[in-house]
Structure 1
Amino acid sequence: MPETPPEQPVVLLVEDDGLLLMEASDTLSDAGFTVLEAPHADKALKVLENRDDVGILMTDVDMPQGSMDGFALARLVADRWPSIPVLIVSGMGTPGPDDMPDGARFIPKPYEPTTLVRTLRAFARRAA
């Protein structure tokens, strides 16, 4: 019986801009990822607390709704769920030295879909 290829991990995508959320979700779905969507950090935390299959967190930084920005969410996830790699995206500039948790990656917006997919696949290989 042939072995099935390993599945791509579930990506929790946190983005407050509906169009960007849809575009990133479509890009990742087309690349074989299962995508869960959250419009802000509070919703993302509820997803993480209720599911044990999230393999990667991808979060925007500037999210006016919710109780925290993407940097705070990334640090919280790195602390509570250290096995989940974190990708941070933002069009607001480069993060400072204390903004991101250890091991997190940053991609500035606008990003190329191929860059996004390549980065998440590298995360998936690292986490496997």
Structure 2
Amino acid sequence: MTFFEAENAAKAISVLETQPDIRLMITDIDLFSEAEGVELAKLVRDRWPPIKIILTSCNWSFEQQELTFAEHFIPKPHAPVALLDSMKSILV
């Protein structure tokens, strides 16, 4: 399994455009603003529908139904095992 890291939404999109085998994206809702993380997830859902999305955040004001474009939401702080469990359930 290969992992890629991107420091912002623009770089994440660049990685996705050059790495066609990506199956899962984990992103914080709060990249530089709440809107950036959410907009990134929505863009990925629209452009790359097969990519599964896990969202995380310690400060979020979204209703769960507003996050329907992601497979999982994991509030921070979270134990690493919670993230691993989500990854396993999505990628099986």
TM-score computed with the length of structure 1 as normaliser: 0.64
> Which residue identity does 1:120 align to in structure 2?
M
Q: Which residue of 2 aligns with 1:51?
A: 19
Per-residue deviation, 1:63:
1.5
* Alignment check: 8 A CA contact 1:60 1:90 kept: yes
Aligned residue among 81, 102, 122 for 2:48: 81
Q: How many residues align?
A: 90
Q: Which runs of 5+ in 2 are unaligned?
A: none
CA distance in 2, matches of 1:106, 1:69: 16
Percent of pairs identical after alignment? 34
Per-residue deviation, 1:102:
3.4
> Higher strand share goes to which structure?
1
Rg larger for? 1
Aligned residue among 65, 69, 80 for 1:102: 69
Change (3 A) 1:108 1:35: same
Any runs of at least 4 consecutive aligned residues in structure 1 with deviations exceeding 4 A, and if so which?
none
TM-score computed with the length of structure 2 as normaliser: 0.87
* Alignment check: 8 A CA contact 1:78 1:101 kept: no
> Higher helix share goes to which structure?
2
* Alignment check: 8 A CA contact 1:74 1:101 kept: no
CA distance in 1, matches of 2:43, 2:68: 9
Q: Which runs of 5+ in 1 are unaligned?
A: 1-32
Confirm whether residue 90 of structure 1 aligns to residue 90 of structure 2: no
CA distance in 2, matches of 1:101, 1:80: 16
Alpha carbon RMSD of aligned pairs, Å? 1.7
